Structure 1
Amino acid sequence: MTTSSDLASCASMKVLNLKQDPGLKDAMDADALSLSRLLQTSMLRMTGEFLNEVAGTVDYLAFRLSQDYRQYGVLASRLQDVDVSKLNNNQRMAFFINVYNALTVDSLCHLKTLPASTLDVENFWTTNAYLIGPHTYTLDQIEHGILRGNKAHPSSGTPVLSPADPRLEHRLPNLDPRIHFALNCGAKTCPVVRVYSESNLEAALETATNSYLLQEVQVTEGVLKLPQILEWYQQDFADDQEGMLRWIQVYVDEAASAAITDILTPGITGPKIQYFYDWSLNTA
């Protein structure tokens, strides 16, 4: 059941899955992981439907006015009935990755005016939430509290869930840094979204990591350009920058790998490192 503290937190958040349209009730009894796959599959289908492939933009206005989006709302409301405690660690990881990515797009669809960047939306990651079982989860709470095992948020330096928070029961015991290449925050430099399941989790995470780093890590005019994810979450990959570079080296192309070798070799003046991130939103 939903506790009084959860109701209080709902009041301070934008909980997007509280309402349900009885006329669109989906009778299928899906378990938590199946439901999360349905949510993410539905979001991907709608994004494709309203994508301008030439311009690379999404028409979010048409998106949120569509019948499919109303149907999605029914699916999202059913998250209130799932029991996350029944999921093993791999199932829980796949579930929360799918839900995070679906919640990101749903949060954008709820905005009256779309920003140039999600950075322009006040408290975007700390207020938009879903009610999952008896507890609310914001984007930050899913990413940092659950998927990162409640490691400190890179901005605040503190965990997002307190030691007494009942949601800590669902945090992942081991942080897999490849989650950073599976989560999409709505920006252009974010990774491509996939649908995750227990059976495809390992292969999908490995593919996502390889695809993202091959595309984003580049050597240009003597500069090794790295997505800022690697700077913000360096401690998730290794204890220091050297360790992080060694971690990503197996995924990058030949030129980037050679540049990393030069950087890590004593006595060789390797290329400079430059971090970048494009927060622009793809909107029509």
Structure 2
Amino acid sequence: MAMELKGRVLVYSILGCPHCMKAKSTLQELGVPYTDVSLEKYPHARQDVQMRTQKRTVPQIFFNARHIGGNEDLQNLVKDQEKWTEALEVLKSTPAGPDAPQVPDPSTAVKSFDVGDIVCEPDEYAEFVKELRNSGIIKDHRSLLRSYKNSFSGKEFVDWVVKTKEVVPALGICKPRPAGELGEDLRKLILKIYSSYLSPDGKKVNYKGIGESSEFEQYQKLAKELVRVQIVEATREEKLAFFINVYNAQVIHANVTMGPPVNLWQRYKFFNTVRYIIGGHQYSLQDIENGVLRANRKGMGMFMKPFGSSDARLKVSLETPEPLIHFALVCGAKSCPPIKTYSAEGIYDQLNLAAESFLEGDDGCQVDMGKRTIKLSQILKWYSVDFGKNKDEVVEWVHKHLPDSEKKTQVGELLESKNYKLSHMPYDWGINS
């Protein structure tokens, strides 16, 4: 049963953030009522939060005007029974004053996305296909000893086209759409799915629930538009958001429909054979990660670059690799970063925040000052070339992208001393279901 408070607890969060979910779960378990302020729903609140806290990570928790901090700060406060009791007494007896952060006006919220709003503009060629089916030229044909059902000859087709539309049929039932536009629709639909089928800590996915949902049925319909999406002319920012979201959705789609890979060989097949047709070309998960987002670099276990010199998909590849994608791509394993969605507008702020959040946790970076060791996720070993030319440059990159904290200070001290050992944590390939 929730306790009665005169004061106010505000939790600033974003969807899919495991630290946010853990903090809110803790408050719920302790019966402490709180107001969740989504920085995706109220993006204008970000500036106020950063000014008050001098931090860019979430969650940020306030008891009236008192800034508690993030999830780790909340957990430490709860463990200290005396301080926790004192904090609760203040909340029970003292209303939030004018100096406390205010609950955003609901009228200022970004409008929520309704999956029922996804309606594509009919393609003029869809009618062409219907006319072709009703043209009478599609019938059974016999050639020597073979029979061809529901077919037509090249001459019959050309004659019919010349007589009617004088156009060439196209794929799909919707007009080709720009990557930024389609990517944003996909992002919003994926966001709706994540909000219903992610675990409280943001690290596990209810694949069975997704597969049975109406949202997933809607997603599959929308994903068909990828066949003709206009991606070549998209900006770098649009490509980053588009392909990160598609990669993460493709992993979930495959896990729902095919089941997760459970050994090394199955993982190899999973990342190399699960494909979407995007803009008329096939893209496996490896193609998206290493071919597009890493600017056509070889990935783990690859002897050649994903795209050859004559591959049309090279036009889609980023001109330079983007190391921040490694904290956004979710391969479906337990050691992957939490699942989020990304938009082209402000993509670098979103990716930097994802890196900060991952490195701030023990899954990303651990420091032992007594043993003078730094332990990093295997991700920073497998793709070390994206982060630096040597051990020191990789650690410098990590130090730069850590949020201001004791851990950042410790990494800086070890870097400056040049007397430290670097190792990497085991990677848990267990399915995040």
Distance 1:143 1:203, change over 3 A: same
Alpha-carbon distance in structure 2 between the residues aligned to 1:96 and 1:279: 22
Aligned-pair RMSD on alpha carbons?
2.6
Provide the C-alpha distance between the structure 1 equivalents of 2:424 and 2:184, rounded to a whole number of angstroms.
Answer: 36
- Tell me how far 1:123 sits from its aligned partner: 0.8
Q: How does 1:267-282 map to 2 (within 5 A)?
A: 268=419, 270-282=420-432
Q: Determine the structure 2 residue equivalent to 1:69.
A: 216
* 1:278 counterpart SS class: coil
Deviation at 1:197, TM superposition (A): 2.3
Shift of 1:249: 0.8
Is contact 1:129-1:139 (8 Å) kept? yes
- 2 CA distance for matches of 1:27 and 1:177? 35
- Give runs of aligned pairs for residues 186-265 of structure 1, distance below 5 A: 186-215=332-361, 216-220=364-368, 222=371, 223-252=373-402, 253-255=405-407, 257-259=409-411, 261-262=413-414, 265=417
Partner of 1:110: 257
SS of corresponding position for 2:354: helix
Shift of 1:125: 0.6
Which position in structure 2 is the counterpart of 1:78?
Answer: 225
User: Is the Cα–Cα contact under 8 Å of residues 189 and 279 in structure 1 kept in the other structure?
Assistant: yes
User: CA separation in 2, counterparts of 1:109 and 1:26?
Assistant: 22
Give the deviation of 1:175 after TM superposition. Answer: 1.3
Deviation at 1:244, TM superposition (A): 0.6
Give the 3-state SS of the residue equivalent to 2:275 in structure 1. strand
Q: CA separation in 2, counterparts of 1:261 and 1:66?
A: 50
User: Shift in Å at residue 147 of structure 1?
Assistant: 0.5
| SS state at 1:219 partner | strand
Q: Which moved more, 1:69-78 or 1:85-94?
A: 85-94
Contact 2:248-2:331 within 8 A present in 1 as well: yes
* Whole-angstrom distance in 2 between the partners of 1:213 and 1:54: 16
Q: Which amino acid aligns with 2:208?
A: L
Conservation of the 8 A alpha-carbon contact between 1:117 and 1:187: no
Shift of 1:45: 2.2
The Cα shift of 1:120 comes to: 4.7
Structure 2 CA distance, aligned partners of 1:101 and 1:183?
6
Answer yes or no: is the 8 Å Cα contact 1:119–1:279 preserved in 2: no
State the shift of 1:99 in Å.
Answer: 1.1
Alignment CA distance shift 1:274-1:59 (3 Å): closer
Counterpart for residue 10 of structure 1: none
**Which residue is 2:186 aligned to?**
39
Q: Deviations for 1:203-254, whole angstroms, at most 9, x for unmatched residues?
A: 1111111111111211257342210110001111111111111111123342
Q: How many residue pairs get matched? A: 257
Deviations 1:150-171 (A, max 9, x none): 0112322421111111101111
Between Structure 1 and Structure 2, whose CA radius of gyration is higher?
Answer: 2
| Unmatched segments (≥5 aa) in structure 1 | 1-23
User: What is the CA–CA distance in structure 2 between the aligned matches of 1:234 and 1:264, rounded to whole Å?
Assistant: 20
**Residue 3 of structure 1: aligned partner:** none
Mark the CA change 1:180 to 1:55 in structure 2 (over 3 Å): closer, same or farther.
closer
- Contact 1:79–1:131 (Cα < 8 Å) also in 2: yes
Map of 1:21 onto structure 2? none
Identity %: 30
SS in 2 for 1:224: strand
Structure-2 residue corresponding to 1:93: 240
Separation of aligned partners in 2, 1:82 and 1:230: 32
- Is the contact between residue 199 and residue 205 of structure 2 (CA under 8 Å) also seen in structure 1? yes
Which residues of structure 2 form unaligned runs of 5+? 1-115, 122-176
